[in-house]
């Protein structure tokens, strides 16, 4: 993959890139409607393909939070047409990498030395590259290391990038403006944390030690002496990214082992640590040759308060659905409904969110669950498509759901999708 020699870092440069992309999208629409007038065809597949290609190209050159949002959207099969999902999913681990001279500059700023002065060997080409940074392989005292280097200007551009993404997201994907504003506040907070590698090092050391006894899950050791605000060094884990592994045949027994390891890892964090690795996409996990799950990225962590934990996880109580008063209070607590909603609004949102809770909590209502169940996931995606088109949700002036739930919902969404792709049968009791 071709390397980038530079990244636009100033607001003016980055805004110019967004404007240029907007012009390309406009040209794609003109071409689409011109063809429609001439031929009478109204198929939007080509339009989506062209827009997805142009948007991804622009965002991959910008790096940072804009590309991260694209990565997150790629995981939601109900928001984006498949063309966008396929393009944006590349942000998980195969974005265009930075050239080696830019990597050297980052080392010079942080350590006053080149990489080859710190390590016995250091690969000049990135092993993989994503939205916030890229990884190089190094060797020190006979140990293979993974060195994650943050792209220049990423931390400084989070707020301005997200402000520029807003009108594109609202118009192209018809997102609810009030929910988007709540969503973006939470996304901004997590992304600012993701650009702080000192914080990631601290969390990685803490959470990996506390989670160290979970069966079939492994973590790298971390090296503070070779780490800092923009560089993070850890052991190199031999294995393939989960996304790559899923492209090959895996024995069912090993699918179940990997799925159980992931389920146990997440629920230990949810209910014991109340601090969750909240970025469950296939690029953040490795599969070792003996089918252990390697956890390699604690950049995005959602910390839960005891109060929020109690309110959110009451939704998994199987007796809740049959207790109307408790259910209504739970929905008020989580802002699915509001005291000043009309009776019609309350009835509508109670019905929608009750159906959603019943559907998404199904894996918890039995001791084991087969995530290969196509009918179950077809039902989820169909229901998602149905509610995404409801004008009551689109036009609501209130965010439906507390923002603290955003990354927990996203975590479960990513977890369910990975387990479905694994076709794993999992012991879901917790």
At which residue do the structure tokens 């894996």 appear? Answer: 363
Handedness of CA 384, 385, 388, 389 (dihedral sign): negative
Phi and psi at 153, nearest 5°, equal 80, 0
Residues 101 and 49 in one domain: no
Query: For the purposes of burial, counting CB atoms within 10 Å of the CB of 147, is it exposed (0-12), middle (13-18) or buried (19 or more)?
Result: buried
With CA atoms as reference, report the closest residue to 207 among 153, 152, 257, 278.
278
Residues 101 and 168 in one domain: no
For residue 430, the model assigns a pLDDT of: 65
CB 75 within 8 A of CB 283: no
What six digits make up the tokens of 192?
A: 């600012």
What pLDDT tens digit does each residue of the chain (430 aa) get?
556 555 555 555 555 555 555 545 545 444 544 444 444 455 566 555 655 555 656 665 555 555 555 555 444 444 444 444 444 444 444 556 788 998 999 999 999 999 999 999 999 999 988 778 899 999 999 999 999 999 887 777 777 777 766 766 666 555 566 666 767 778 788 888 989 999 999 999 999 999 999 999 999 999 999 999 999 999 999 999 998 899 889 999 999 999 999 999 999 999 999 999 988 888 889 999 999 999 998 988 999 999 999 999 999 988 899 999 999 999 999 999 999 999 999 999 999 999 999 999 999 989 999 999 999 999 988 887 787 677 777 677 777 888 899 889 889 988 999 999 999 999 998 6
For residue 218, the model assigns a pLDDT of: 97
Of 220, 236, 252, the last residue of a domain is 236
Residues 315 and 424 in one domain: yes
Question: How far, in Å, CA of 168 to CA of 150, rounded?
Answer: 26
Is residue 34 a part of any domain in this protein?
yes
For residue 229, the model assigns a pLDDT of: 93
For residue 313, the model assigns a pLDDT of: 95
Is residue 180 a part of any domain in this protein?
no
Q: What angle do CA 162, 408, 351 make, to 5 degrees?
A: 100
Is residue 312 a part of any domain in this protein?
yes
Question: How far, in Å, CA of 57 to CA of 72, rounded?
Answer: 16
Residues 102 and 210 in one domain: yes
Residues 380 and 290 in one domain: yes
Is residue 177 a part of any domain in this protein?
no
Q: What CATH number does the domain containing 144 carry?
A: 3.30.200
Does residue 113 sit in helix, strand or coil?
coil
CB 93 within 8 A of CB 241: yes
For residue 422, the model assigns a pLDDT of: 96
| Exposure class string for 366-385: b at 16+ Cβ within 10 A, else e | eeebebbeeebeeebeebbe
Cα 274 from chain centroid? 19
Q: Return contacts of 402-405, CB within 8 angstroms, 24+ apart.
A: 402/308, 402/334, 402/335, 403/182, 403/183, 403/185, 403/186, 404/186, 404/302, 404/304, 404/305, 404/308, 404/312, 405/308, 405/312, 405/334
At which residue do the structure tokens 């390397």 appear? Answer: 3
Residues 228 and 168 in one domain: no
Is residue 45 a part of any domain in this protein?
yes
For residue 93, the model assigns a pLDDT of: 47
Using CA atoms, how far residue 64 sits from 74, 87, 141, in Å, is 16, 16, 33
HSE-CB at 277 with a 13 A cutoff on CA atoms is: 28
Is residue 226 a part of any domain in this protein?
yes
First to last CA, the chain: 44
What six digits make up the tokens of 321?
A: 């659905």
Residues 378 and 271 in one domain: yes
Residues 84 and 149 in one domain: no
**CB neighbours of residue 175 within 10 Å:** 17
For residue 247, the model assigns a pLDDT of: 87
For residue 104, the model assigns a pLDDT of: 95
- Which residues does 54 contact at the CB level (< 8 Å), separation at least 6? 21, 24, 25, 28
Give me the domain span that covers residue 349. Answer: 239-430
Residues 257 and 163 in one domain: no
Query: For the purposes of burial, counting CB atoms within 10 Å of the CB of 41, is it exposed (0-12), middle (13-18) or buried (19 or more)?
Result: exposed
Is residue 118 a part of any domain in this protein?
yes
For residue 69, the model assigns a pLDDT of: 58
- In the DSSP assignment, the letter for residue 226 is G
At which residue do the structure tokens 């008020």 appear? Answer: 332
> C-alpha dihedral over 257, 260, 261, 262, to 10 degrees?
130
Residues 83 and 100 in one domain: no
What six digits make up the tokens of 380?
A: 């989820």
Question: How far, in Å, CA of 250 to CA of 266, rounded?
Answer: 22
Task: Evaluate if pTM is beyond 0.75.
Answer: yes
In 113-223, the DSSP E strands lie at 121-122, 128-129, 133-140, 143-150, 217-218
Query: Parallel, antiparallel, or unpaired for β 231-235 and 143-150?
Result: antiparallel
Domain count of the chain? 3
Residues 50 and 80 in one domain: yes
Does residue 181 sit in helix, strand or coil?
helix
Residues 401 and 359 in one domain: yes
Handedness of CA 137, 140, 145, 147 (dihedral sign): negative
- In the DSSP assignment, the letter for residue 366 is S
């Amino acid at each position: 993959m071709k390397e980038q020699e530079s990244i636009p870092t100033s607001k003016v440069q980055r805004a110019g890139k967004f404007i240029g992309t907007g012009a390309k999208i406009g040209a794609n629409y003109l071409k689409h409607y011109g063809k429609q007038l001439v031929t009478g065809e109204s198929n939007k597949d080509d339009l989506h393909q062209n827009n997805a290609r142009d948007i991804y190209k622009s965002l991959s050159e910008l790096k940072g939070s804009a590309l991260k949002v694209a990565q997150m959207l790629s995981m939601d099969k109900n928001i984006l047409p498949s063309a966008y999902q396929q393009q944006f999913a590349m942000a998980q681990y195969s974005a265009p990498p930075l050239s080696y001279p830019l990597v050297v500059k980052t080392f010079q700023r942080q350590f006053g030395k080149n990489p080859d002065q710190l390590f016995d060997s250091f690969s000049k080409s990135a092993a993989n590259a994503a939205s916030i940074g890229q990884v190089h392989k190094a060797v020190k005292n006979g140990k293979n290391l993974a060195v994650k280097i943050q792209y220049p200007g990423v931390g400084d551009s989070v707020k301005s990038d997200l402000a520029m993404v807003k009108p594109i997201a609202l118009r192209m994907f018809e997102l609810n403006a009030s929910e988007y504003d709540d969503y973006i506040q939470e996304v901004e907070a997590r992304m600012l944390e993701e650009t702080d590698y000192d914080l990631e090092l601290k969390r990685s050391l803490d959470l990996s030690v506390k989670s160290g006894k979970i069966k079939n899950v492994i973590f790298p050791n971390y090296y503070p002496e070779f780490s800092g605000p923009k560089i993070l060094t850890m052991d190199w884990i031999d294995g393939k990214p989960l996304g790559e592994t899923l492209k090959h045949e895996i024995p069912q027994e090993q699918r179940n082992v990997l799925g159980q390891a992931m389920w146990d890892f997440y629920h230990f964090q949810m209910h014991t640590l109340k601090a969750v690795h909240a970025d469950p996409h296939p690029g953040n996990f490795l599969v070792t040759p003996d089918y252990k799950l390697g956890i390699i990225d604690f950049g995005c962590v959602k910390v839960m308060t005891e109060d929020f934990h109690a309110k959110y996880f009451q939704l998994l109580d199987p007796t809740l659905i049959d207790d109307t008063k408790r259910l209504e209070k739970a929905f008020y607590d989580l802002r699915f409904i509001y005291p000043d909603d009309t009776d019609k609004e309350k009835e509508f949102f109670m019905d929608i969110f009750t159906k959603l809770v019943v559907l998404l909590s199904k894996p918890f209502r039995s001791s084991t669950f087969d995530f290969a169940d196509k009918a179950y996931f077809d039902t989820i995606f169909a229901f998602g498509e149905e509610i995404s088109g409801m004008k009551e949700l689109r036009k609501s002036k209130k965010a439906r759901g507390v923002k603290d739930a955003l990354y927990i919902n996203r975590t479960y969404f990513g977890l369910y999708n990975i387990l479905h792709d694994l076709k794993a049968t999992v012991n879901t009791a917790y």
